[in-house]
A and B are shown apart, each in its own frame.
Chain A
Amino acid sequence: MKILVPVKRVPDWQIKLKLLPDGKDIQTDGIKWILNTFDEIAVEEAIRLKEKGVCSEIVLVSVGPADVRARLEYALAMGADSAILVKHDGPVDSDLASRVIAEVFKKGDYGMILLGKQAIDSDANQTAQLVAGRLNLPQACFASKVLVESGSAVVTREVDGGLETIKIPIPCVVSTDLRLNEPRYAALPNLMKAKKKPFEELSLEALGVSADLKVRVKSLSVPTGRKAGRKVANVQELIAALQGEAKIL
């Protein structure tokens, strides 16, 4: 079974975010980019399914500008087999990403689309569901365990109140939660070898996907932070503050 792993590059969560003066976007000049944390978990899970002999080939896909290639090469160095970069310099919303992923899926003989449940920049948690809906495929979102057996995926999902295990037919869409696995690091020699792995560049036109957006960011702002309160010396003082000032208890 071939697995398609859509990935997104995002600003490193450790950087201090700055907004552009017009507030339309964050400052991205010269910042450090990483593979979205949840997508890295998806790449790792696909590699583990390949190591178990369940998966035959791992194909990555991303949509974005030319320098997204570096992040795809990182995922190739982890162990993916080939990558497709759909080059597009303009803004991408989840709907556009889902239409790209759906078209790429239709061109290959894939058994599963495996991707992160959310990107840590937009924090939306919706692309996997949009892809599954567009392709009318069964979905298993927020996965903390993935097994593949005779034409089905058995997926344990993190839901409100506990864990739910579902069995869905293949082909299907699976989105990864935080504790599915701990991704491996790509070793330096593999990073060199990754540059020789098959890498295809496509355009939106070639895929027959329009660049229209359904969601437009009007402006960004930084929320007013909470002020630090005060230190209390002991439990008695804390209780007095909660009762007297905060009127709790």
Chain B
Amino acid sequence: MAFNRKNILSLNELTQGEIETILDTAESMKEVSSRDVKKVPALKGITVVNLFLEPSTRTRSSFEIAEKRLSADVLNFSSSQSSIVKGESLVDTAKNLEAMGATIIVIRHSMSGAPFVLAREINSSVINAGDGSHEHPSQALIDLFTIRQIKGGIKGLNVLIVGDILNSRVARSDIFGFLKLGANVRIVGPGSIVPKYFEDLGVQIFYSLEESLVDVDVVIMLRVQAERKSLEFFPSLREYSKFYGLNKDKLKIAKKDVTVMHPGPINRGVELSSEIANDPKSVILDQVSNGIAIRMAMLYLVSTGDKH
């Protein structure tokens, strides 16, 4: 299926077909990564700017490797060294980068919707690498890709997302992505971070981890934030871990072949016990390596997509 988008801003706006096209393209990209010379000329002569205005090591590195494997010219632009610190607006920064010839801008931003501001204002392609608590499309695509590989498909699977749903961009992208590909999605966590509005998006809400785990094929654990602000939502990490931390015993409630995922970085002993993080059921490191293939696919597809 053709992919006619200039930007990838959210999974909410992608169709099932478009998501599948990205996953299929990632399959061939994965093959590139298994070669001795891990490079193809697909983006030769194209400048990609990684505009990371929020600290990130893993996502930025993964995009950078993907860009280099596609032979793109890569420019990294991070908040600490940028003109944003000097008070330049996001729009002005992006227009400058565009004037320097950036064909694709990969943006990470602490505020929801920032990639949409860029897409409105500039002609370069924009890829959302995570915006506020809105979406993290590449992470969800990785999750879909990894699960599709392991389970052979997404349709009909029972997928459970555990934790800080309210503030998680991964949760939103995963919810949209898994629903679009036909999975049943459940969410579970403390009442204060699992808002009722999610029900209207078509997910099932639970407050008991044990109940939510019945018959589950995939568990996606979200990182819990341990900052002061989060104490408005639950009393302590200790209490959170007691009710929503996943350990071997609780995992037995799920299906035998359950797969455990975590977008990282893990708080060992909080959302996941170490024994699970190291268990073969968990595919956390597969997620990381698949990340490069997915990001290569995203970059490639927007570069060939409709420029209007």
Do A and B share a complex? no
Q: A-side interface residues toward B, CB under 8 Å?
A: none
